[in-house]
Amino acid sequence: MAADRPGKPDPGTSKTTTTDEPERIQKLLARAGVGSRREVESWIEAGRLQINGRPAMPGQKATVSDRIELDGKRLDIKAGAEVLRRVLIYNKPEGEVTTRRDPEGRPTVFDRLPRLPDHRWIAIGRLDINTTGLVLFTTDGELANRLMHPSRQIDREYAVRVFGEVDEAMIRRLSEGVLLDDGTARFTDISEAGGKGINQWFHVTLMEGRNREVRRLWESQGVRVSRLKRVRYGPVFLPSRLSMGKWEELDQKAVDSLSRMVELPPVDIPAKTPSEKKIDDRKQRKHGGPARRKPGTPRWQVSGGQNMDDDRAVKRGRNKKHRG
C-alpha cells in the first residue's frame, strides 16, 4: 500500500518525486515533455541541441539547472525536476491523428485532454487516423518509453473486422510470420469474434507497434480491414463504459501496476484541486457525452457512441478469453 512506501512525503507536501542528479539528456527532456528520446537523439545528431552554449554530445548528462537550447531557443524544462506520473486512458474516435500538432489542421487526440500547468501528456504508442480505441497517455516520459520499447514485449490487442475469405491456412501463416516491407511480423494470438460470410470479426494480439502493422498483415493475405479498434494495451483494457472521445484517469493501484511491470518505483499521484476537478468534469461533458438515441432505437444499440457491431465483437472476444 502507498502508506508503506519508503520516502512517502508528509501530508500537505508535494506527492511527486524530485531529482537533481545529472542524467542523460534524452531522459531528462523526455520527462520534461519536450520530446521523445528518439526526437532528442535526432536533434543531437543534427547539431540542433546545445547545453550551456556547447553542442550536446550523444550520452551527455545534464540537470534542470543547465541552459539547454534547441535551434538557439532556450527550452523550458522545469517539469524535468520532478517525476509526475499520471496516466489517462482515452477512447479515440475515427478521424483524429495521434500527434500534438497536425500541419493539415486535422483534430488530434490531444485536443480533448485536460490541460496541465507545468507538464505535458505523452502518447504511449500511436493509432492511425482510421483506427479507433484505446490510447494511453502519461506525464512521465520514462514510463512512456519503457511501455513502448520492443524489449519489454508488451502486447497490444485489437478487435478487427476483415472483408474477404479467411481460412485455417491463412490464420496459420499470420501466426507463424509474414514478411512485410520492414521485416517479418506476426500475430501472437488470433481468435474468432463473430460475423457472417466474408465480413468476420477477429481479436488479434501483437507484441510491437509498427506503423499500420495489423492492417498490413491482413492485406498481405489478400483481405481488407474494414474496422480496427484497439481494446487492450498490456494489462489495461478499454472499459465499455468509456464512450468515444472520452478519457478517464487511472487510479493509484493501476498506475503502480504499470510501473512495476516496467521496473519503475511507484510514485504517488497528486490529488486534484477542486478547481481542477470542475474543469475536468466540464470538459468531459463538452467533448464526450453519451451518444444520443434516435427515436425508436433500442437502448442496447447505443453503446457509448460506438458502432453496435464493434461493441458486440469486443464483448465476444473478451468473453471468449475469460471462458478460456
Catalytic residues: 128
Where does the chain show beta strands of DSSP type E?
Answer: 17-18, 23-24, 49-51, 54-55, 61-62, 68-70, 73-74, 82-83, 87-92, 122-124, 132-138, 156-163, 178-180, 183-185, 189-196, 199-206, 224-233, 236-237, 247-249
Distance (Å, whole) CA 124 – CA 145: 8
> For residue 65, what are the CA distances in angstroms to 52, 62, 273?
10, 8, 28
| Distances in whole angstroms, Cα of residue 99 to Cα of each of 108, 110, 132, 287 | 6, 8, 15, 18
Strand pairing partners for 138? 87, 122
- Between strands 224-233 and 132-138, the pairing is parallel
Distance CA 54, CA 70 (A): 11
CA distances from 220 to 169, 186, 226, 271, 316 (A): 13, 11, 15, 48, 26
DSSP, residue by residue, 82-114: EE---EEEEEEPTT-BSSS--TT---BTTTTSP
